[in-house]
Structure 1
Amino acid sequence: ISSGASLGVAFVVLLSGSLGGVALSRMGYIGDVAMSVAAIVGSLAVMSLILYVAQKVRGNVTLLIIGVMIGYLANAIIGVMKFFSAEEDVKAYVVWGLGSFARVSGDAMMLFIVLMAVLLPPAFLLVKTMNLLLLGDDYARNLGLDVHRARMRVIVSSGVLVAIVTAYC
């Protein structure tokens, strides 16, 4: 899912013209918001694809392998975009990719803290569900767990958290 965030930012920074990515990275708050929105949109797009695949496949291992494949595909697309982009745009993208809270303003940091405070407790409540999923689908189903619903909740919860953290860092 974080590779989807990188792909979203790459589309904005690397395909925005020869100096567009540099201008966007130096725009301050507006540029940061644009890159954060692109990261969240990219993450949610990849998460939607993973949710679709999760409905079609049965095993957790298969889903994991498909997720890794999607990550490699996103990184390959980013590599092609880097190859055809201007040097300044690639530098702006790499600086974003290094990740840091240094460029996050106080207001944006407060929003980040509020989002994490709201979204982390429900994620912690999924611990028992994830432990049941570790036992395998058949055992979890026999213990009364709706495996499909539980898997979707875990994917959505982790996907949203990863999208927000990747967008802000």
Structure 2
Amino acid sequence: MATIGRFVVSVVGAGEGHNGRRTAAVARALAFISALIAFAIAGLMIFDAVRVVNEPIEPDQVDFRLVTGVMLVIMAAIVAPLGVLNLIGARLLGRRKPRGRTSVLTGSLLGAVVAFMVGADAPVVVWVSVIVLFIVTAVAAALPGTKRWVRGAPSPSESGELVLGGVG
């Protein structure tokens, strides 16, 4: 068990003497994956909405096609912004911006909640995997190493960025 702990510490850089670069890289990669999965889920929901609305109706059944299609579009409209939040957060995290870490944390935690609420009809393995991915992404962004790496960003004058109101 101690070997696994040392392996995790070495991968995410949580030990002494690390600036958190590896932890932030893991958080960033997981945020990109989470964003892609959120976009894929939203796309599948839109595809399913179109399919449901266009399928033929049985003459002796109540027509719920439109209601089902609208609900799927609403769910896609909830899931897609979470992907955007994780994607933007990953980009900002790569630039060592504190807003990136906050965006990844927010998007991942909300993504886990939404996946828990929306994905109940999905296969259990997929449903649990998506929830675990969002939670692991949030944990990676919340680790002290990621915070240390973001806070260790060079000042704008050191990085060559234009400083407004001063000479950079």
- Say whether the fold is shared (TM-score over 0.5): no
Of structures 1 and 2, the one with the larger relative CO (CA 8 A, separation 6+) is 1
- Which has the larger Rg? 2
TM-score (norm: length of structure 1): 0.30
Q: By percentage of residues, which structure has more helix?
A: 1
For normalisation by structure 2, the TM-score amounts to 0.30
